[in-house]
Structure 1
């Protein structure tokens, strides 16, 4: 696209961890979208979102969360949940300094969807709205008794890596799975128990906290997602307090709705919703 440019930079986040961010800016941006990526991946995997939104005037930026992508930190590990939120706030302030008068939306997927929701609840005054794609609010692999055990073990052994995600379940498109496996910026091992316990620990509290949400929100989820349980999104759908909440369910779609063979509809819904709320 004429006038479009790629930008990138680094920040010093919580506990002195250096973080990487990147963005694609149209010639005359009219809004900002901040991407919060999922577990094990990085902000550079959102090309479909960039290609959909930038022609409409959106400047799209993504932060590599600590321990992911080109950011520093122990791979796929988290010491304290507030580190994620502190990092993301620094990222937002850095980006909005480039566009001080434009509306800002956060778009989070999976783990990043949870982070985006938690961040939005704490910073409703500086955001225009939030988009949550398959937010990590429940997992079929994490029954409550197991969560309690893992939480206790994580206090003693936070850096062990007992289990991870099955990347073959991210999309029905074999090319997407192959590209994920070939991408050296993805984390191809398991997350630490420290990260997993803090992520799963929000399942019992974040949907309830969403009663305080007043921002416009778009929630998108595939019904055949086996990585983040749609039950968590259904709970969020029923509890969130936003007076402007839109929920879109995609029958038969897997985890990464923007990378599914049927991606056209979720991306069109995203584009339409953002345009209506700019």
Structure 2
């Protein structure tokens, strides 16, 4: 929920191998326009992102280069939605611990969901009071690393709870829609997910792999790997954070697997 600066170290390794990498700040995030983390309409947001990405790619690549989309966590769900809207545009999708659906076990009772979606969120969508757990302690096997990483992200929410309108779109609108449309994913993809992930469920990645109609699909599950260990733990990437050997191995393995997958399709 912050600036793309936080994610530069991982794609920078892909850039060193010859890829042209674009890491935009999404609307309402980082340095982009819009009220901080306010997304009142998921599909309008996706359309806005698509318009910006299309313009950047047209200017930088001129349509002459194989084009891939990559996203982690919520960004993974966004990447899938972009592929579903433009199934022939991307050469492939690299999905890291994607947030695709929300299990019924994690949702409040049906009547509470309806009151939230139909009354509370439309009435006061700007209020930053969506009740969510603080998840930073679950990002890494070394729980304190999550808090350290937050401090490296000055353009993040910095303690601000998600706005009610955003909570509705991120918690219900797009996950509920994706839940019924996973089979329509036709863009080639690779999913990389740690089986110790406590934030996004690896089972949803298995569902996408099983239900999608694309022939070219790969699922890699990493034993003992936590949510954020797939993309942040490179030596020297953040001042003051000493990653463990296991965390570094998780990130470098994911980075190598993604790079190799793209290279085979270029």
Partners in 1 of 2:155 and 2:49 — Cα distance? 20
User: What's the offset of the Cα at 1:144?
Assistant: 5.7
User: What's the offset of the Cα at 1:208?
Assistant: 3.0
Indicate the residue corresponding to 2:107 in structure 1: 143
Partners in 1 of 2:113 and 2:208 — Cα distance? 20
Which shifted more, 243-252 or 130-139? 130-139
Partner SS for 1:264: helix
Kept in 1, the 8 Å contact 2:6–2:153? The answer is no
Matched, 1:171 2:171: no
Kept in 2, the 8 Å contact 1:207–1:236? The answer is no
Structure richer in helix, relative to its length: 2
TM-score (norm 1): 0.79
Structure richer in strand, relative to its length: 1
Partner SS for 2:101: coil
Kept in 2, the 8 Å contact 1:147–1:197? The answer is no
TM-score (norm 2): 0.82
Number of aligned residue pairs: 239
Indicate the residue corresponding to 2:264 in structure 1: 276
Indicate the residue corresponding to 1:105 in structure 2: 68
* Higher RCO (CA-CA < 8 Å; seq separation 6+): 2
Partner SS for 1:277: coil
Indicate the residue corresponding to 2:92 in structure 1: 129
Kept in 1, the 8 Å contact 2:3–2:153? The answer is no
Which shifted more, 246-255 or 199-208? 199-208
Indicate the residue corresponding to 2:216 in structure 1: 244
Partners in 2 of 1:131 and 1:149 — Cα distance? 36
Partners in 2 of 1:99 and 1:254 — Cα distance? 34
User: What's the offset of the Cα at 1:255?
Assistant: 1.2
Gaps of 5+ in 2: 234-246
Indicate the residue corresponding to 1:118 in structure 2: 81
Partner SS for 2:224: coil
Partners in 1 of 2:18 and 2:101 — Cα distance? 34
Kept in 2, the 8 Å contact 1:208–1:240? The answer is no
Kept in 2, the 8 Å contact 1:132–1:219? The answer is yes
Gaps of 5+ in 1: 1-39
